[in-house]
């Protein structure tokens, strides 16, 4: 009986002690279940987001591909449009092949109120091409002529009748002529030409890109001329140490009468100038300066110019010479 009583007492004590722990375990189990449910929810949300990201990436890739195709198509359409414009302009220019344009002839006076209007261009269509060409070739005789007998000082100009596209190209070439300081501009058989001076070659301007290439070429040439002028202006010297004797230099330095050298000095600048001149005379005596020739300057050590840079310069110079000879835009783009 005593043992049973003790056993019941221990059971009650254990129950009292374990009751809070059981309650805590239930709470932990409930919280763990909630955490598991939350993790499952987050996992589902991550799956949804991952699917959305993949969908958006796929859509972005397809849009990029579509955008590239649209750009290609737009470029093709732009090229076709430019080709059509050029064809229409060529057709219009061909229809003007027998025409010349005369400018500077004043309008005839009419009765009534006088209105100061600019001179009109007269377009003349010739029945024979050879007559038209001879007439156009004789325009140089009108260079200093005017229509003073009609009480005006307007100069007379004869030009080829250009299509709207070629007229715009001529205006752009006229502006480039002023910027690049070219001397001559003219048209021949409806083509625009520029020439820098009497000794240079004529440059055909068939499209606006030709003017851009011409400006780049002139910039390149001017830089080369400037570089050549600098090379011819500045003189480079180097010291010759073939007979240099350090002991002789030290002997001459020790032989200097510094009191005599500094006797006339009044401030620190005079002291420095006197000291520098004395040392310079000794250095010039034992290691004289020699003027470098252009060939020697060319082959001076330039450690910053690597073999790869030299190779690139050679390729670029070759392409530039090819462009000057051919005026090929493909070669210019490679350059």
Helices (H) and strands (E) in the chain, counts: 10, 8
Q: How far is CA 133 from the centre of its chain?
A: 42
What value does the CA radius of gyration of the chain take, rounded to a whole number of Å? 46
Cα 224 to Cα 61: distance, rounded to the nearest angstrom? 48
Cα 188 to Cα 133: distance, rounded to the nearest angstrom? 10
Give the pLDDT confidence score for residue 193 in this predicted structure. 92
String of DSSP letters for 95-126: HTTTEEEEE-PPPPP-SSS----PPPPEEEE-
Residues 46-86: tens digit of each pLDDT:
888 888 889 998 889 889 999 999 988 988 898 888 888 88
First-last CA distance in the chain: 114
Two structure tokens written together for 227? 């570089």
pLDDT along the chain (335 residues), means of 10: 67 72 75 82 86 89 90 88 87 88 75 60 88 85 61 74 89 89 87 88 86 78 52 70 86 87 84 87 88 74 69 81 74 71
Residues 6+ apart with CB under 8 A from 132: 98, 99, 100, 126
Residues 234-282: tens digit of each pLDDT:
677 788 888 888 888 889 888 888 888 888 888 888 888 888 888 888 8
Please state the pTM of the whole predicted model: 0.48
Give the pLDDT confidence score for residue 220 in this predicted structure. 62
- Exposed (0-12), middle (13-18) or buried (19+): which is 6, by Cβ within 10 Å? exposed
Residue count of the chain: 335
Across the strands, what pairs with 124? 100
Cα 98 to Cα 92: distance, rounded to the nearest angstrom? 12
SS3 291: strand
Give the pLDDT confidence score for residue 148 in this predicted structure. 58
Say how many C-beta atoms besides its own lie within 10 A of residue 207's C-beta.
Answer: 16
């Amino acid at each position: 009986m005593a043992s049973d009583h003790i056993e019941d007492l221990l059971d009650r004590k254990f129950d009292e002690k374990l009751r809070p722990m059981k309650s805590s375990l239930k709470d932990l189990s409930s919280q763990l279940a909630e955490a598991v449910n939350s993790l499952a929810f987050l996992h589902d949300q991550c799956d949804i987001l991952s699917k959305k990201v993949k969908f958006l990436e796929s859509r972005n890739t397809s849009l990029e591909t579509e955008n590239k195709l649209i750009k290609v198509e737009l470029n093709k359409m732009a090229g076709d449009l430019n080709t059509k414009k050029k064809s229409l302009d060529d057709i219009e220019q061909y229809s003007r092949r027998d025409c010349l344009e005369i400018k500077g002839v004043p309008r005839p006076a009419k009765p009534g109120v006088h209105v100061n209007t600019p001179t009109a261009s007269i377009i003349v269509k010739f029945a024979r091409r050879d007559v038209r060409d001879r007439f156009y070739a004789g325009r140089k005789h009108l260079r200093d002529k005017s229509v003073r007998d009609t009480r005006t000082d307007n100069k007379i100009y004869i030009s080829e009748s250009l299509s709207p596209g070629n007229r715009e190209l001529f205006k752009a070439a006229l502006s480039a002529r002023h910027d690049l300081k070219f001397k001559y501009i003219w048209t021949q058989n409806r083509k625009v030409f520029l020439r820098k001076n009497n000794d240079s070659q004529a440059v055909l301007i068939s499209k606006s890109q030709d003017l851009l290439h011409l400006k780049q070429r002139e910039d390149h040439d001017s830089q080369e001329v400037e570089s050549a002028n600098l090379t011819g202006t500045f003189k480079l010297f180097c010291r010759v140490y073939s007979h240099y004797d350090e002991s002789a230099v030290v002997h001459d330095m020790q032989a200097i009468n510094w009191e005599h050298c500094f006797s006339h000095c009044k401030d620190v600048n005079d002291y420095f100038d006197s000291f520098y001149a004395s040392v310079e005379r000794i250095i010039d005596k034992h290691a004289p300066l020699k003027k470098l020739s252009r060939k020697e300057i060319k082959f001076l050590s330039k450690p910053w110019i690597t073999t790869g840079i030299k190779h690139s310069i050679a390729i670029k110079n070759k392409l530039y010479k090819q462009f000057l000879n051919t005026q090929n835009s493909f070669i210019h783009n490679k350059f």
